A and B are shown apart, each in its own frame.
Chain A
Amino acid sequence: MPRSPARRIPIAWRNLSEHPWRLAASVAGVAFAVVLMFLENGFRNALLDNMVAVARNLNGDLIVTHRSRYILSQAMPFPAGRLELIAGVSGIESVHRFYLDVHVSRRWRDPATGQTRPIRLIAFRPEDDLLDLAEVRAQRSLWDAPETALADTRSKTAIYGPIAPGMVSELGGRRIRIVGRFTLGTDFRSNGTLLLSERNFLRYNPGRDRGKPGERLIDLGVVRVDSDVSLPEMQEKLARRLPPDCIVLTKAQLLRKEQHFWARVTPVGIVFDIGVVMGFLVGLAVCYQILFSEIHDRLAQFATLKAMGYGQRRLLAVIVAEGLWLAVLGFAVGWVVSAGLYLLLGSLTGMSLAWKLDQIVGILAITVAMCVLAAGLAARRLQRVDPAELFT
């Protein structure tokens, strides 16, 4: 079998790179579609990620919540006494009280304007170490002091004004001093967060403290189990000991439950899926236009190849290869641009837009599918190429 010239001459690449400016315009076209998909998908992930930021950083194995707490950001406290019922179970290392005040009852006062705005509060005993955040751990002795708090760096300054360490202001009409910062992030429900010790939290929320420790209203119970214990078994055991108003979830279940709610029940998840589909269709249209004109401009060359004995499939392969080049280059450029936009959006919204491997691979796959499909559609023009026409 004679060696095919196509093996030696990368026709697809030569075609594309002949006019660098045109190639740049084509890559830009595909890249735009990639950016659109990355953004819409990024919005969706940001929504789901940021909504579970607290849950994801909880430092424990099993979580006890009120049965009716359908999302963490809906206040549904239960008496701390429930945790005493499970504290002695063998196989349990420790049980801790966790407070998450999303009720807009405690307002932060912006010292510059005097305006007060509701702010989310997170609280636990500093020595319990319930948030897996290094900054929170490192500043433990600072926020243990009376009337102090750590401020989330991502709290929106447009709403609260700048919250900086050293600042003294009011929370719920009571003096509070900011002694440090940590990074957690805002979400669609909250615009900012303060972290307090349990003692401080109860000072600002006297309604939670009912006198006896067992009647104190808490939001979550965080359970750490011994390393040799099976989680599902322990979960069952605890559920049987607890009254029916409480449920026990593994951390994974809690995350799943939260994300399920935001993806399924709220409008925003669906809106962004529509956005990704639009991105795909636009990319398809752009890629088709590029490859169609590519073929159109080089009809003579393709006819010559056909006259040289290239079959339909070989010609199709050239176009598909051009489509693949566009996909890869467009994806790379689109990724870089999206990275910049993610940073910009993160600083604008206070949410973190994270990269996920499955998201990157997924969008690369969609981009390749888009360009190959466009190549297939555009290559139909090649079927009508008649070498004889060329030489008349």
Chain B
Amino acid sequence: MSDPLEWLSERRQRPPLALRNVLDHPARSAIAIVGMGFAVVMVLLQLGFLEAVRVTARTNYSDIAFDLVLVSPDFDQFFDPGSFPRDRLRLAEQLDTVTAARPLYTRMDLWRCPTPPPDAGLDAGDPFATTPPPNTRVPRDRNHPVALQLRALLVLGVELDRPPYGGPIGQAIDRHLGALRLPGRVLFNARSNPEFGTRSLETFDGWELAGRRVEIAGTFPQIRSFGADASVLCDARTFAEGLGLLPRALRPSFGFLSVKPGTGPATKEALLARLPDDVTVLTRQELAAREANYWVNQTATGIIFRFGVAVTILVAAVVIYQVLANDVRNRLAEYATLKAMGWPNRTIAAVVLRQAAIYAAAAFVPASLLAYGLYRITERLAGIPMVMTPGNLLLVLLLTLSASLVSGTLAVRKLRSADPADLL
């Protein structure tokens, strides 16, 4: 044993067989790796779709700093929030532990887009082609009047002395504070669906919200969600004008509260005791859980994407099994030789499993990169936020490895009962 050469020779009896197998037939291994890679890409893509639902469920609150939120007892999700009397905010502020109360007004309303309707073709032979009907607006750069489309978008109203937004949206509000104080000025979400006019911000100026002329004072960034294709943000006064109301008659959809550190639960109890029952109090976690539950578990979109994830994981497992069973079958003669040489089944199985793990690892990295590319393409084509989270990557890696190990074990079973002589 002390002779280094002898040690070496003994090591040589146990070559890294799994790795050698993989490298021995590069083409065959490549096919196996490509097959498994497909499975990984497929699962990652479906998980990305589902993640997009989760992301969009959070996106409306992501730039808002708050500990507690006042909402109507009818609150269901961001796009169906209900409303409550504005005075409830003042009551909440009277508590010592509440450091700030900031309202957010929301509604869906109609926006005049600088693009013709998607079904403009249906209007071919339009009898009004020469005289624009009253609800038609003429883009400046065209000779022919085209009926511009009206589309619903999300309208966010904030009180400029206490906007709830921080982060990039808060910065955008700060930058345009002066302009937003003027009536009829809005900030436009730069990440809105292009149909709403993201590309015409410089060239078009016939913007209309709820049938009233508005001017775009600037842009803000907010991820688009499944609930709204576009959004604008404005001062409460402009928000109220669109409804034909005075600002003080507005009913907030949300009242975002900041509390002194550590007083969250106590403040919630105090608020519930103090406030009338036309308003209720949720923590940040409760709000997030409600949104996620609604979008993932109750909407058709969420249910269908969850189904997609389940089915593709099954399909991916089948693909991985096929790949590994094939591989074992191809190397049966080799394993039979090892068996004839006296290798126990367990050792041979270990070689197969190690090989499966090598395939899985080799497939995982390029597959993740490919999936990342597909995420970007999907994001562009479908306009939904595709995020590859570390959690999902880890999940897929673990699923791939466990599917590989289970499939490897199943595939190697036939070796157990085999007689080496038959196999040769």
Contacts and interface: CB of A to CB of B under 8 A. Distances in A.
B133 A249 contact: no
Interface string A208-250: 0000000000000000000000000000100110011101010
Contacts of A379: none
Given A249-B122, A257-B119, A289 B378 contact: no
Nearest to B150: A68
B21 interface: no
B382 A270 contact: yes
Q: Tell me what chain A mostly uses at the interface: helix, strand, loop, or mixed.
A: helix
Given A28-B318, A285-B35, A104 B80 contact: yes
B299 to A, nearest CB: 7
A261 B119 contact: yes
B135 interface: yes
B135 A67 contact: yes
Given A107-B74, A275-B308, A70 B118 contact: yes
Given A70-B150, A239-B127, A285 B319 contact: yes
Interface string A250-265: 0001001100110011
Interface in B187-241: 193, 195, 226, 229
Interface of B: 31, 34-35, 38-39, 41-42, 45-46, 49, 73-74, 76, 80, 110, 117-119, 122-123, 127-128, 133-136, 147, 149-152, 193, 195, 226, 229, 297-301, 303-304, 307-308, 311-312, 314-316, 318-319, 321-323, 325-326, 329-330, 374, 378, 381-384
Contact of B315 (A33, A253, A349): A33
Given A290-B322, A345-B304, A274 B314 contact: no
A261 B133 contact: no
Contacts of B133: 67, 243-245
B170 to A, nearest CB: 28
Given A67-B133, A115-B74, 19 more contacts: A29-B319, A35-B311, A40-B308, A68-B150, A70-B149, A74-B151, A76-B150, A243-B133, A257-B119, A261-B118, A265-B118, A271-B49, A275-B46, A282-B38, A285-B34, A285-B38, A341-B311, A349-B303, A351-B300
Contacts of A29: 318-319, 322
Contacts of A286: 318-319, 322
Nearest to B195: A265
A36 interface: yes
B40 to A, nearest CB: 11
Contact of B318 (A32, A116, A281): A32
Contacts of A25: 321-322, 325
